[in-house]
Amino acid sequence: MTKLKHLMQRGTEFLGCDVAIMCGAMSWVSERNLVSAISNAGGFGVIACGAMSPELLDTEIAATKALTSKPFGVNLITMHPQIMELIDVCAKYEVSHVVLAGGLPPKGSIEAIKAFGAKVICFAPALTLAKKFARSGVDALVIEGSEAGGHIGPVATSVLAQEILPELGDQLPIFVAGGIARGGAIASYLEMGAAGVQLGTRFVCAHESIAHPNFKAAFLRANARDAVASVQIDPRLPVIPVRALKNKGTEEFTKKQVEVAAMLDRGEIDMETAQLEIEKYWAGALRRAVIDGDVEYGSVMAGQSVGMVHVERPVVDIIAKLVDEANTALAR
């Protein structure tokens, strides 16, 4: 057994795959084609449910199962108004792993997932939350730093890894995410005690990704500093920052926040509805960019590792290159 396989063993046994590399759940990107390709290549694909209805998720899982016999997961947003119905869909297809993202899981959700035998993975952006999840019976954690694309927390990946891995790495598998694009970084986190890693931005320009050619082209010409975090305009709005390539859509989001805040002031909506309005905006803006190719006004969500994505290539080649780089780093 190579050193890399030994370091990844806990992660591969937990996920049921050959390489402990999870694909980040990117709305409109992490769908049947990319998810199945990653699982077929030995990694672990994860469907991004996002704002999907239970019916749409049902269709997506069935289509993914038709393309791969390997394990894959489903990422559910905890604030989704139909999350328990989405869990029922996962149960119907005996999904092996369910990832809960976007906040604290609603009451009964973890128990409902475990009831049909699936493993529960939660995002922990801070040590206190990681400890809380560990006590609540979560099977594994993803610790994602602010370098990541999409919704982000305030702390860098390297700091989270140093805080959380020594404290909880022996208790449950922990996957590190945010800003990872090369095998050397994967090797370093594994040596720190991670069970594996999660990458999103690195897979956007895979051949199998259905992202619009304009979306991929924006990635290929971008630098790390082009991927900026959104700004919260009104402190009352529980807006989770989003990292994306700066464009005119960034300005549109500022206007959207002002509009939603005004609706709050007039008493037309409550705080929960306000947050859902913001999430719906992101879902729509992301679709415009990923599917329609509007990279000027749509949301081109990207992590800071986007500057290391230079060419479009098949998933199997991306994973092979990451593994080769990790092996080289570990042999030094």
Phi and psi torsions of 44, nearest 5°: -130, 105
Answer yes or no: do 151 and 250 share one domain.
no
Residue 317: HSE in the Cβ half-sphere, 13 Å Cα cutoff: 8
Q: Are 99 and 44 in contact (CB under 8 A)?
A: no
Answer yes or no: do 299 and 315 share one domain.
no
Answer yes or no: do 207 and 186 share one domain.
yes
Q: What angle do CA 272, 277, 278 make, to 5 degrees?
A: 100
pLDDT at 1: 85
Query: How many of the other CB atoms lie within 10 Å of CB of 263?
Result: 14
DSSP 101-160: ESSSPPTTHHHHHHHTT-EEEEE-SSHHHHHHHHHTT-SEEEEE-TTSSEE--SS-HHHH
Residue 207 confidence class, pLDDT cut points 50, 70, 90: very high
The answer to whether residue 216 sits within a structural domain is: no
Q: Is the pLDDT of residue 238 over 70?
A: no
The answer to whether residue 192 sits within a structural domain is: yes
CA distance 320 to 2: 15
Answer yes or no: do 41 and 184 share one domain.
yes
Answer yes or no: do 8 and 99 share one domain.
yes
CA distance 178 to 3: 23
pLDDT at 149: 97
Phi and psi torsions of 12, nearest 5°: -70, -35
Answer yes or no: do 125 and 249 share one domain.
no
pLDDT at 203: 98
Answer yes or no: do 145 and 44 share one domain.
yes
Answer yes or no: do 91 and 239 share one domain.
no
23 three-state secondary structure: strand
Give the model confidence (pLDDT) of 250-288 as tens digits. 888 888 888 988 998 899 988 888 877 887 788 789 999
The answer to whether residue 190 sits within a structural domain is: yes
Q: Is the pLDDT of residue 201 over 70?
A: yes
The answer to whether residue 141 sits within a structural domain is: yes
The answer to whether residue 217 sits within a structural domain is: no
Bridge partner residues of 44 (DSSP): 22
Give the number of domains in the chain. Answer: 2
Total-model pTM: 0.94
Give the model confidence (pLDDT) of 9-34 as tens digits. 999 999 999 999 999 999 999 999 99
**What CATH number is attached to the domain comprising 178?**
3.20.20.70
Average pLDDT over residues 198-203: 98
Nearest to 222 by CA among 301, 160, 153: 301
Average pLDDT over residues 133-154: 95
The answer to whether residue 218 sits within a structural domain is: no
Answer yes or no: do 197 and 231 share one domain.
no
Residue 305 confidence class, pLDDT cut points 50, 70, 90: very high
The answer to whether residue 69 sits within a structural domain is: yes
Answer yes or no: do 48 and 118 share one domain.
yes
Answer yes or no: do 176 and 54 share one domain.
yes
- Give Cβ neighbours of residue 282 (< 8 Å, ≥ 6 apart): 242, 299
The answer to whether residue 104 sits within a structural domain is: yes
Answer yes or no: do 202 and 73 share one domain.
yes
Query: What is the β-pairing status of strands 174-177 and 196-199?
Result: parallel
- Give the domain range for residue 81: 3-211+308-331
Residue 129 confidence class, pLDDT cut points 50, 70, 90: very high
pLDDT at 299: 93
Average pLDDT, the chain: 95
